[in-house]
Amino acid sequence: MKNIDDTIAAISTGTGGAVAIIRISGADALKIGNSIWHGGTKLSSKGKRKLLLGKCISPDSSFSEQAVAVFFQSPNSYTGEDIVEIQCHGGTLVSRKVLELTLAAGARQADPGEFTFRAFMNGKIDLTQAEGVCDIISAQSGMALNLAERQTGGILGKTVREIRSSLVTVLSECESRMDFVEEELDWQKPASLIATLEKASSKIKNLLKYRTEGAVLREGVRIVIAGKPNVGKSSLLNLLLGYDRAIVTALPGTTRDTVEEHAVIRNIPVKLIDTAGIRDADNIIENKGIERSLASIRQAQIILWLLDASSNHAEEIKTMKKHAAGKGNVIAVWNKIDLLKNSRSLPDAGIETAKISIEKNTGVEKLMDILEKSVWGYPHTDEPETAVSTRHSSLLEEALDAIPGASQKIKSQDWELASVNLRATIAALGKITGEDASPDILDEIFSRFCIGK
């Protein structure tokens, strides 16, 4: 667990911008701020939340940088502590110099995610909101950003707390029945308690419906473009990226290594991997590329296997089945259909198939439809309100698994064993919001943050 009693500082902006922000948080933030920043008016509670112009000056006056500063007084700040933020010119050297002044004045260099960690520890946000901050920083698509912003707003935490609260009510009933066996109290009927558990179970299942979206939007999808030489793999990569990334020639074996690029397709973050053409080659360098291609195919989540519609159809399908069968979600893509008089003459590949012409830019939208369906598992049109992460879904499954046992024990009025199941469910849900999270879990989550956030 991090020490939250000292004062921390870090650069909270990325390098290369016009302005850099150095954030100081903790009990001595105001003292440290005033010791390195000097203006016509001192930073104080009277001028809180006001940007003041001044200079950051080193004790020996060898460094002087014009900067503005602002004071946020506890508890009305991001971390819930006193915060001073100094805005100076951007650039690695200037911002680093200002940070060094804060450290020399008594602040400690903040660890990754430590400002957000303090916000969580001080009750400003729950753990799902803290994770949402990290998701905002790493968002790769508009949908991912929207979901992260909603999570930061508390929608997921609110839902989980509501479920947890209803289960705590049932647990209280069960434990009361054990403690006051002889008393004639106004107990709820077992059927009513079971109905509450069923409602909670339904809400958990609804959250789990969107775990695929959560995994895809946070982690992306690895898509490998494969096939024999000269089927149009590099051309398809360039088309999907919207610019020429891979070299395209009429010579077979042009691509001799994997070419990897990140992109967003239909709001799906993807890593596109162009591979060397699969064939028997004598060239040692090309063979190395083919070996890497086969390794990429084995690691792919989705394989776009390009088939040459102008070549021997049976041979094309045979090669695809030899190298791609059973190695991920394979989509057969017949390219060069513009060279056929009738594309209906193409044989059935036995899997999801698209017919395109990269040269004429036809059929590509249909391919994108198939790809989108392949990623989500169903036609995807509406954006979900929430999309749980792998950590959330694991804990939701844990909570869900314990509910049937609790229902069964309540039905047989075995209140003690029902309480055991309910406590397991409540603890799992508490780990999601942070109410029952261990120090190890917190350290693991906040270690994924960048320094300064």
Q: Give the mean pLDDT of 132-146.
A: 89
CATH fold match for the domains 8-126 and 217-376? no
Q: Give the mean pLDDT of 104-111.
A: 95
The stretches of 153-189 forming alpha helices (DSSP H) are: 155-179
Q: pLDDT per residue over 410-441, tens digit each?
A: 999 898 999 999 999 999 999 999 988 788 88
Q: For residues 291 and 261, which has the higher predicted lDDT (pLDDT)? A: 261
Write the CB contacts of 352 (distance below 8 Å, at least 6 apart in sequence): 330, 331, 332, 370, 374
* pLDDT, position 346: 87
Write the CB contacts of 430 (distance below 8 Å, at least 6 apart in sequence): 164, 436, 437
Q: pLDDT per residue over 40-82, tens digit each?
A: 999 999 989 999 999 999 999 999 999 999 999 999 999 999 9
Q: Is residue 383 predicted with pLDDT exceeding 80?
A: no
Q: What is the CA radius of gyration of the chain?
A: 29
* pLDDT, position 65: 92
Q: How far apart are CA 365 and CA 224, in angstroms?
A: 18
Residue 275 binned pLDDT confidence (cut-offs 50, 70, 90): confident
Match 């912003």 to its residue by tokens.
149
CB-CB contact of 355 with 339 (8 Å): no
Phi, psi of 410 (to 5 degrees): -65, -40
Fold adopted by 8-126: Gyrase A; domain 2 (3.30.1360)
Match 């104080």 to its residue by tokens.
44
Query: Which stretch of 53-57, 64-68, 339-343, 346-350 has the lowest confidence by average pLDDT?
Result: 339-343
Chain mean pLDDT for the chain: 88
Match 């707003």 to its residue by tokens.
153
Q: How far apart are CA 96 and CA 342, in angstroms?
A: 66
Q: Give the mean pLDDT of 444-448.
A: 82
Q: Three-state DSSP class for 439?
A: helix
What's the 3-state SS for 386-431?
CCCCHHHHHHHHHHHHHHHHHHHHHHCCCHHHHHHHHHHHHHHHHH
Report the side by side order of strands in the sheet with 83-89.
37-39, 52-57, 64-72, 83-89, 19-25, 8-11, 108-109
The secondary element (H helix, E strand) that includes residue 292 is helix 284-299
* pLDDT, position 281: 60
When the candidates are 3.60.150.10, 3.10.180.10, 1.20.120.430, 1.10.620.20, the CATH number that belongs to 131-210+387-434 is 1.20.120.430
When the candidates are 3.40.33.10, 3.40.50.80, 3.30.1280.10, 3.40.50.300, the CATH number that belongs to 217-376 is 3.40.50.300
* pLDDT, position 248: 54
Q: How far apart are CA 86 and CA 52, in angstroms?
A: 10
Question: Highest-confidence range of 87-91, 166-170, 176-180, by mean pLDDT?
Answer: 166-170
* pLDDT, position 331: 92
Q: Where are the domains of the chain?
A: 8-126, 131-210+387-434, 217-376
Q: pLDDT per residue over 244-272, tens digit each?
A: 765 555 545 555 467 888 899 888 899 99
